[in-house]
Amino acid sequence: MQVLIIPGVMKCGTSSLFRCLSGHPAVCPSRVKEPEFFSRLQDHGTDGSDYHALFDFDPSVHRVAMDGSTGYSKPGEDAVPDRIRAAGVEPMIVFVLRDPFDRIVSHINHRRRHHDDDRMTDYIVEMSAYCRLIDRFARVFDRLHVTTLDALINEPDEIDAIQVFAGLDRMPLKFWHENRGDYDEDRRTLTAEERADIHARLAPDMARLNANYGVDVSRWGFD
């Protein structure tokens, strides 16, 4: 069974991509979008000893099983790629990235709604250090595709590129970003001081992201 994993990044459109690719007849999505089978710090994970049991995979119909667990890329889950390989799984990896300032705002407002906490924590900023998160998987697996939310929304060929990457016949799949993070009219925004702090902390990682994975970070305000 060939596996496609979308390990993140949280609040970057992974659920939208998961839903989009689930429309392909040769894709078998996991019964739960985020089973977190290989995570250790995500309390909504699925327990069990058989990763393949997460899927209703029919080899006569399906070519690819898909797992959308964003917890795999979260800070503190550094050993996830090694656990995946130890389980005998050699997945294709797709990372979805987003303007880090927008991602942080969406993450803060997610916590504001669900946990009554609108602080900009180190953990939230660290989750936008994308190159570090991708490197975790790139050191273990060769088949890796990096995309952005902007590309998925504005470049129709990007969905085709992901289908080709996954070894799928191209289908006219529609990407729709259903969760924009606009939770309420008085949602939390970033102050000028917070934006400056984020920029300074993420600049080295963004430079490596551009150099190592070809992501145009200038559109996000980085050199």
* pTM exceeds 0.75, yes or no: yes
Can you state the angle between helices 14-22 and 157-165, rounded to 10 degrees? Answer: 70
CA distance 131 to 213: 8
- pLDDT at 161 > cutoff 80: yes
Mean pLDDT over each residue of the chain, to the nearest integer: 94
* CATH architecture for residues 2-98+129-187: 3-Layer(aba) Sandwich (3.40)
Residue 47 — very low, low, confident or very high, per pLDDT cuts 50/70/90?
A: confident
CA distance 215 to 110: 26
Residue pLDDT, tens place only, 88-128: 999 999 999 999 999 999 999 988 888 888 899 999 999 99
Residue 62 — very low, low, confident or very high, per pLDDT cuts 50/70/90?
A: very high
126 contacts 199 by C-beta, under 8 angstroms: no
CA distance 205 to 210: 9
- pLDDT at 183 > cutoff 70: no
Residues 6+ apart with CB under 8 A from 193: none
Cα 41–chain centre separation? 17
| Dihedral sign of CA atoms 95, 143, 209, 221 in order | negative
Residue 177 — very low, low, confident or very high, per pLDDT cuts 50/70/90?
A: confident
Residue type, 38: F
Residue with tokens 């797992």: 67
pLDDT for the residue 7: 98
